[in-house]
């Protein structure tokens, strides 16, 4: 018997990050922890500006992605491994780091003030917003109570939990149909509930979905409520043609109706577009001087890791230039 | 032949340098050791030799049945990680913590020694709100 010991974290460079300090005026504070934020952090640190980073978690959406095959340099890498690499690249710098807390308020001014859930207010000359996106919720009764108890948003993450169960997918776009395909391979039955009279997903995906015989699509129906005591047991559907309600027994519901930008923090400070995204110019500048933004939270089209990372680099260079010219 | 080659050994020494307080490993085996018991025995001995903050006690599941019972051990090979006063911290490993499991093992040693990962205050506050006893079982896979 050959025995091996895999100590992965150990070949990494020593961790140099330091706690974020509320008595310091930073040159740049980055809010977020996805590819945009982590890339911005590396660029700021290499520019030698005093940098802080506040994030709820490290990795953002990439941490929820099973495999990435379109980030250059890797033919195929697990989302979580890519996050680990990003993180290690940031940790080699003495960057002020605060993880596990949300930034809840941003005050504009020559010195920007970021109030955080940890009760402190941090200061910086420039701020980069890279708060990304989160799953859109339906906001129906039962949804928040049963989230994680049968109500799910990430099929890639949670589909295996619904093996041999009756599940429902809400939505008709690419993510909904992809979720339905993943689930159809495992679940007993998959019911796709769509508001419109047709699906809006790409044709290739629709064709793929039609190959399964355990999938039913109900058009022009709306999910009204989710029921269950300890876990999901049934749902109420509303038929918009007959105007009638009916109940369907399911043990799982995947809500796949897109993503919303995390802009609560800045919605009263910078200009947003009709999708609620932060409007930026090609230098990643928002409508307020000294406030920059990058990645999925912005108006830049095509939400991808490599784009978020590239934009993060651009925002960092822009912010560094802004700080330098202010001196 | 040692289980840890020089590279792994250096890494382990570096990791175990973060042990805060002394800890004790209680290893359970039996007189005629099963093959995994033998390897696990060697494993705990090598681990204990890498830090003077680690002491090792070896027991026989049958002969030391009282101790085994006190430590809630019913199968071997087993390793209990406790502080130096033998206070149980709820950490038991069954089988050899090789492969990726060595990370959980080292993590457990550091945790028991008091080198804790700080939990963010909002999480501590939420946990404090738990009013009734709950039983959590976590099943993990490596992939
Ligand atoms: C399931 C799935 C699969 C995907 N697959 C791919 C793929 O294969 N290839 C690809 O290129 N792209 C893929 N994407 C898209 C890609 O993940 C995103 O475009 C990218 O992660 C955006 O990066 P970001 O840094 O802008 O934001 P995010 O990744 O959304 O990160 C935002 C970060 O900000 C933090 N945050 C939010 N609000 C606050 C706050 N108020 N205070 C502090 N921190 C906050 C969050 O905790 C998070 O860490 C996928 C997305 C999903 C959901």
The residues of A whose Cβ lies within 8 A of any Cβ of B are: 1, 3-11, 99-101, 117-118
* CATH code at position A148: 3.50.50.60
The pLDDT value recorded for residue A12 is 46
Report if residue A201 sits inside a domain: yes
Overall number of domains in chain B: 1
Same domain, A38 and A120: yes
Same domain, A24 and A102: yes
Report if residue A73 sits inside a domain: yes
Shortest distance between the Cα of B69 and any Cα of chain A, in A, equals 30
Mean pLDDT of B1-6: 89
Q: Name the 3-class secondary structure at A104.
A: strand
Same domain, A146 and A237: yes
CB-count exposure of residue B88 (10 Å: 0-12, 13-18, 19+): middle
Report if residue A102 sits inside a domain: yes
Mean pLDDT of B100-121: 87
Mean pLDDT of B101-107: 90
Residue ranges of alpha helices (H) inside B18-59 are 35-49
Whether A39 lines ligand 1, by a CB cut-off of 6 Å, is no
Report if residue B136 sits inside a domain: no
CB-count exposure of residue A255 (10 Å: 0-12, 13-18, 19+): buried
Shortest distance between the Cα of A103 and any Cα of chain B, in A, equals 13
d(CA A148, CA A145): 9
Atom of ligand 1 nearest to the CA of A36: 25
Residue A244: domain span: 137-255
Report if residue A306 sits inside a domain: yes
Does A44 qualify as catalytic in the annotation? Answer: no
Report if residue A75 sits inside a domain: yes
Of the residues A21, A108, A118, A154, only one is catalytic, namely A154
d(CA A195, CA A238): 10
User: What is the CA(A60)–ligand 1 centre distance, in A?
Assistant: 4
* A112 in Cβ contact with A322 (< 8 Å): no
Same domain, A142 and A228: yes
Reported as a single tens digit per residue, the pLDDT across B71-86 is 999 999 999 999 989 8
Q: Do A101 and B122 touch (CB under 8 A)?
A: yes
Shortest distance between the Cα of A58 and any Cα of chain B, in A, equals 14
At what angle are helices A35-47 and A79-91 packed, to 10 degrees?
Answer: 20
Residue with tokens 């355990």: A214
Report if residue A12 sits inside a domain: no
User: Can you say whether residue B14 is alpha, beta or left, with left for phi > 0 and alpha for psi between -120 and 50 degrees?
Assistant: alpha
Q: Please say which residue of A231, A255, A279 terminates a domain.
A: A255
Atom of ligand 1 nearest to the CA of A116: 42
Report if residue A1 sits inside a domain: no
Whether A159 lines ligand 1, by a CB cut-off of 6 Å, is no
Report if residue B139 sits inside a domain: no
Same domain, A33 and A128: yes
Instruction: Give the number of beta-carbon pairs within 8 Å between A and B.
Output: 42
User: What is the CA(A307)–ligand 1 centre distance, in A?
Assistant: 11
Q: Do A118 and B99 touch (CB under 8 A)?
A: no
Q: Which residues of B are less than 8 Å from A100 in CB distance?
A: 120, 122-123
Residue B80: domain span: 6-128
Atom of ligand 1 nearest to the CA of A71: 11
DSSP collapsed to 3 states, A203-235 = HHHHHHHCCCCCEEEECCEEEEEEECCCCCCEE
* A114 in Cβ contact with A127 (< 8 Å): yes
Report if residue B22 sits inside a domain: yes
Does A320 qualify as catalytic in the annotation? Answer: no
Contacts of A183 (CB under 8 A, 6+ apart): A155, A159, A162, A167, A169, A190, A254
CB burial string A81-117: b at 16+ within 10 A, e below: ebbbebbebbbebebbbbebbbbeebebeeebbbbbb
Report if residue B135 sits inside a domain: no
Q: How many residues does chain A have?
A: 327
The pLDDT value recorded for residue A74 is 94
Q: Do A1 and B103 touch (CB under 8 A)?
A: no
d(CA B22, CA A192): 57
Same domain, A130 and A228: no
- DSSP per-residue letters across A266-308: TTTTS-B-TTSPBP--TT-B-SSTTEEE-GGGBS-SS--HHHH
User: What is the CA(A178)–ligand 1 centre distance, in A?
Assistant: 18
Q: Which two tokens stand for residue A300?
A: 């830049």
Same domain, A117 and A169: no
As for the ipTM of the complex, it is 0.77
* A117 in Cβ contact with A101 (< 8 Å): yes
Overall number of domains in chain A: 2
Q: Please say which residue of A255, A278, A302 terminates a domain.
A: A255
Same domain, A168 and A183: yes
* CATH code at position B15: 3.40.30.10
Full pLDDT tens readout for chain A, 327 residues: 578 888 765 444 567 899 999 999 999 999 999 999 999 999 999 999 999 999 999 999 999 887 888 999 999 998 989 999 999 999 999 999 999 999 999 999 999 999 999 999 999 999 999 999 999 999 999 999 999 899 999 887 789 889 999 999 999 999 899 999 999 999 999 999 999 999 999 999 999 999 999 999 999 999 999 999 999 999 999 999 999 999 999 999 999 999 999 999 999 999 999 999 999 999 999 999 999 999 999 999 989 999 999 999 999 999 999 999 987
Does A158 qualify as catalytic in the annotation? Answer: yes
Q: Please say which residue of A255, A277, A311 terminates a domain.
A: A255
d(CA A49, CA A3): 47
Whether A252 lines ligand 1, by a CB cut-off of 6 Å, is no
Q: H or E stretch including A127?
A: strand A121-129
Report if residue A314 sits inside a domain: yes
Rounded to whole angstroms, the maximal C-alpha distance in chain B is 52
Report if residue B112 sits inside a domain: yes
Report if residue B70 sits inside a domain: yes
The pLDDT value recorded for residue A2 is 72
């Amino acid at each position: 018997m050959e025995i091996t010991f895999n100590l992965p974290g150990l070949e990494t460079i020593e961790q140099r990050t330091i706690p974020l300090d509320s008595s310091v005026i930073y040159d740049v504070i980055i809010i977020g922890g996805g590819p945009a934020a982590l890339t911005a952090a590396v660029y700021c640190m290499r520019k030698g500006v005093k940098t802080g980073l506040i994030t709820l978690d490290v990795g953002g959406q990439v941490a929820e992605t099973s495999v990435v095959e379109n980030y250059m340099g890797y033919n195929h890498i697990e989302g979580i491994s890519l996050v680990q690499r990003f993180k290690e690249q940031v940790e080699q710098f003495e960057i002020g780091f605060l993880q596990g807390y949300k930034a809840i308020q941003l005050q504009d001014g020559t010195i920007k003030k970021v109030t955080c859930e940890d009760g402190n207010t941090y200061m910086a000359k420039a701020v980069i917003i890279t708060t990304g996106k989160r799953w859109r919720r339906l906001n129906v009764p039962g949804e928040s109570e049963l989230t994680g108890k049968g109500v799910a948003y990430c099929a890639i993450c949670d589909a295996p939990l619904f093996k041999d169960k009756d599940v429902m997918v809400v939505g008709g776009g690419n993510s909904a149909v992809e979720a339905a395909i993943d689930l159809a391979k495992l679940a007993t039955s998959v019911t796709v509930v769509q508001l419109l009279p047709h699906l809006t997903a790409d044709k290739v995906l629709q064709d793929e979905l039609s190959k399964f015989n355990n999938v039913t699509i109900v058009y022009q129906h709306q999910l009204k409520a989710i029921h269950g005591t300890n876990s999901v047991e049934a749902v109420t559907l509303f038929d918009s043609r007959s105007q009638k309600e009916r109940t369907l027994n399911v043990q799982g519901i995947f809500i796949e109706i897109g993503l919303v930008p995390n802009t609560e923090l800045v919605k009263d400070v910078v200009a947003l577009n009709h999708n609620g995204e932060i409007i930026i110019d090609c230098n990643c500048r928002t409508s307020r001087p000294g406030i920059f933004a990058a990645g999925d939270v912005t108006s830049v089209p095509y939400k991808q890791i490599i784009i978020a990372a590239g934009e993060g680099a651009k925002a960092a260079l822009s912010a560094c230039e802004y700080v330098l010219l202010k001196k | 032949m040692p289980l840890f080659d020089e590279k792994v050994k250096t890494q382990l020494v570096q990791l175990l340098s973060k042990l805060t307080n002394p800890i004790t490993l209680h290893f359970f085996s039996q007189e005629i050791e099963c093959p995994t018991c033998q390897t696990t025995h060697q494993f705990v001995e090598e681990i204990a030799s890498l830090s003077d903050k680690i002491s090792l006690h070896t027991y026989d599941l049958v002969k030391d049945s009282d101790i085994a019972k006190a430590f809630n051990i019913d199968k071997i090979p087993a390793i209990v990680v406790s502080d130096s006063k033998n206070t149980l911290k709820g950490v038991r490993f069954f089988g050899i913590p090789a492969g990726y499991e060595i990370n959980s093992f080292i993590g457990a040693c550091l945790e028991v020694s008091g080198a804790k990962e700080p939990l963010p205050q909002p999480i501590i506050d939420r946990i404090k709100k738990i009013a009734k006893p709950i039983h959590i079982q976590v099943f993990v896979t490596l992939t």
